[in-house]
């Protein structure tokens, strides 16, 4: 697995990371044994950039990651996130909390759950519009000075927020949804990041699994799968989006790779400052995804994929109304 560098501060990570969320949360019932096996296989293949968060579970995902890397901490780069006000009885009932107190408290709790003395990349999961970003990032910078955090970032911020945050303390990465069917960062976020020397970490680079061609109906998803409530997986939007996924399948056949590999190779082709974090809880899927790092698309193939799934062809919002309200703040 090749390596890439995030930010001008120089966080060295694997060219592809591993999103760990689905191992315990959101995409059907979790399987701790399979999750740990997936992380171990990732390390064998050189996929060392692991992404988790306080809210995944909540809490259980960080604990799983901590158990998986016990005794191997020096081999991995761990990214985790804070920034929500959690309801312990309903993990989907949440608001933002970007207070300095929350940034410090969650950091200490995440360190304990992860079983480590430092976090490699600490993100604010969603920007809190009620707390000036300078206050939040100022507290994150203090955690860097204290040695608890190596680098900091934001998830789904607006371009102006990125500028204000970066002026307070250098950002190493911004995490945003980015894939063939979510091209939003290309408009303003990615140009801003490149101007400032900040890396992009795309989550859901496989369109929440849709671009793999394996999901043919909502019935293919577990009953407790969060995607059943996602607008892009509903009714007419699902049918329209299925045609786009089929186009990726068709193009992948011509390239001689799986749809997942082609979708990931497309993201990787968008720049050496881009490090996607496809999620899986299956060692076999992990192996398939990791192989995408060796798939070099031609400029013509990238352009063909660009045209095959144009941003205005995708149907449905990325989240429900409450989720959309937390983006681009």
Backbone φ and ψ for 325, nearest 5 degrees, come out as: -65, -20
Distance between CA 59 and CA 24 in Å, rounded? 9
Q: Find the DSSP H helices in 171-276.
A: 189-196, 235-255, 259-268
| Measured CA distances, 106 to 75, 117, 165, 172 (Å) | 24, 14, 19, 20
- Strand 173-177 to 149-155 pairing: parallel
Query: Cα dihedral angle (151, 12, 206, 198), rounded to 10 degrees?
Result: 50
The CA distance from 69 to 72, in Å, is 5
3-state secondary structure of 120: strand
Given the residues 56, 122, 178, 203, select the one marked as catalytic.
56
- The helix/strand/coil state of 204 is coil
Sort 298 into a burial class: Cβ within 10 Å, 0-12 / 13-18 / 19+. exposed
DSSP 132: -
- Catalytic annotation present for 56: yes
CA-to-CA separations, 136 to 128, 131, 173, in angstroms, rounded: 9, 7, 16
Region of residue 115 (left: phi > 0; alpha: psi -120 to 50; beta: else) = left
Q: What are the residue numbers of the active site?
A: 56
């Amino acid at each position: 697995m090749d390596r890439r560098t995030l930010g001008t501060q120089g966080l060295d990570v694997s060219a592809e990371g591993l999103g760990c969320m689905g191992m315990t949360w959101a995409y059907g019932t979790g399987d701790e044994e399979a999750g740990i096996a997936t992380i171990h296989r990732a390390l064998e293949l050189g996929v060392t950039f692991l992404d988790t968060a306080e809210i995944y579970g909540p809490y259980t995902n960080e604990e799983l990651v901590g158990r998986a890397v016990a005794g191997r901490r020096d081999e991995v780069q761990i990214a985790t996130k804070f920034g929500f006000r959690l309801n312990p009885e309903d993990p989907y009932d949440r608001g933002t909390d970007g207070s300095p107190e929350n940034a410090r408290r969650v950091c200490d709790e995440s360190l304990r759950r992860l079983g480590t003395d430092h976090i490699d990349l600490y993100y604010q999961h969603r920007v809190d519009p009620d707390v000036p970003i300078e206050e939040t990032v100022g507290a994150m910078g203090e955690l860097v000075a204290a040695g608890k955090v190596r680098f900091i970032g934001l998830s789904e911020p607006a371009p102006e927020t990125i500028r204000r945050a970066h002026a307070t303390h250098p950002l190493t990465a911004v995490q945003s949804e980015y894939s063939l069917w979510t091209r939003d960062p290309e408009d303003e976020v990615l140009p801003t990041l490149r101007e400032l020397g900040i890396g992009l970490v795309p989550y859901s680079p496989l369109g929440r699994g849709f671009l793999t061609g394996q999901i043919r109906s909502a019935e293919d998803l577990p009953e407790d799968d969060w995607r059943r409530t996602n607008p892009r997986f509903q009714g007419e939007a699902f049918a329209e989006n299925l045609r786009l996924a089929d186009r990726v399948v068709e193009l992948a056949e011509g390239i001689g790779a799986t749809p997942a590999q082609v979708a990931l190779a497309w993201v990787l082709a968008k720049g050496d400052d881009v490090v996607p974090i496809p999620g899986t809880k299956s060692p076999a899927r992990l192996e398939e995804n990791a192989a995408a790092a060796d798939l070099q698309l031609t400029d013509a193939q990238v352009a063909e994929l660009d045209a095959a799934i144009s941003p205005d062809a995708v149907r449905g919002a990325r989240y429900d109304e409450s989720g959309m309200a937390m983006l681009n703040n």
